[in-house]
Structures are given as C-alpha cells and as structure tokens.
C-alpha cells in the first residue's frame, strides 16, 4: 500500500489498541471543537460503518462483493456509499486493480484501526449489558 501520507502523526503511534486511552483526558470545552467532534461521531457511529469497520479489522483486506456478502442485510447502494465515506474520512483504502471484471480491494488504514479500537469499549458495553437493557425494556413496557 503506497498512499495516504497521514502527515501529522507517525504510524508508530497507532498500533497499540489502547493508544486512545493514554493522556489527553476529555478535558475540553471549546464549543466549536465540541460541535465538530459531535458531527464526526455522528458520521462515524453509523451502523454500517461500524459493521464494516469490525469486519475489515478482523479479516484484513476484502473486495467489494466479499464485504457485501459478509455484512448481512446491507444493500449495494449503502455498501458503496459507506465505503466511499470511509475512504474519504481516511478510515479505509480503496485499491482498484485494472483487470477486466473489475476488482477493488478495501482495507483499514491505521486511523481506521484506531477507531475500531476505540469502539471496542462500546461494543463490549453492549455485549455485557444487552440483557440489562432488554430487562429494563420489558419492565418499562409492562406498565
């Protein structure tokens, strides 16, 4: 993979799955930054994005149809759209091989890997507390 000179930070900073935990506590209150962060999270916390992120994290490099097959329920339109967006946000790379049935490979960038690691906490939370949420819902709906 050649591209993506992520200019500001070195690759060495990312590989550690817990890298996002050290230093820099959430002590921040600039409303402009906060707005940008909100917007970014809103885009990135998208259902399909999270699923594709997980899949690529686990499987490495995959081609278009492969992802479509493994992310159950996604339409081709959403797949294209989501991948394009991830590429634009610098989360994934898109490599086109100029062969005649087209072949396009997708893989995570270091940035994508770090996001995947950050989401890990939410993922674990959901797994661990799924039952609690369902129980709460049942209790709520019973009234």
Among positions 56-75, residues that touch DNA (CB under 7 A) are 63-65, 73-75
Residue 3 DSSP class? -
Which residues, numbered 36-55, are part of the site for DNA (CB under 7 A)? 46-48
d(CA 3, CA 93): 8
CB atoms within 10 A of CB 16: 12
Q: How far is the CB of 15 from DNA (least distance, A)?
A: 26
* Residues at the contact surface with its own copies, assessed by CB under 8 A: 1, 3-4, 6-9, 11, 14, 20-21, 24-26, 28, 33, 36-38, 40-42, 44-45, 47, 50-51, 87-90, 111, 114-115, 117-141
Distance CA 38, CA 112 (A): 18
Helix-, strand-, coil-residue percentages of the chain, each rounded to 5: 60, 10, 30
Nearest distance in Å: CB 30, DNA:
23
Shortest Å, Cβ 122 to DNA = 18
Strand-pair category, 92-97 with 103-108: antiparallel
Nearer to DNA, 48 or 119 (CB): 48
78 binds DNA (CB under 7 A): yes
């Amino acid at each position: 993979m050649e591209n993506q000179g992520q200019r500001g930070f070195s690759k060495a900073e990312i590989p550690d799955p817990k890298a996002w935990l050290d230093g820099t506590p959430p002590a921040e209150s600039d409303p402009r930054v906060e707005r940008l962060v909100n917007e970014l999270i809103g885009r990135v916390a998208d259902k399909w994005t999270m699923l594709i992120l997980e899949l690529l994290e686990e499987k490495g490099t995959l081609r278009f149809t492969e992802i479509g097959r493994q992310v159950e329920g996604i339409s081709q339109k959403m797949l294209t759209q989501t991948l394009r967006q991830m590429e634009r946000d610098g989360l994934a790379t898109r490599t086109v091989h100029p062969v005649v049935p087209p072949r396009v490979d997708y893989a995570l960038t270091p940035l994508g890997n770090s996001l995947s690691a950050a989401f890990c906490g939410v993922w674990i939370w959901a797994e661990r507390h799924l039952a609690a949420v369902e129980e709460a819902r049942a209790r709520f709906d019973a009234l």
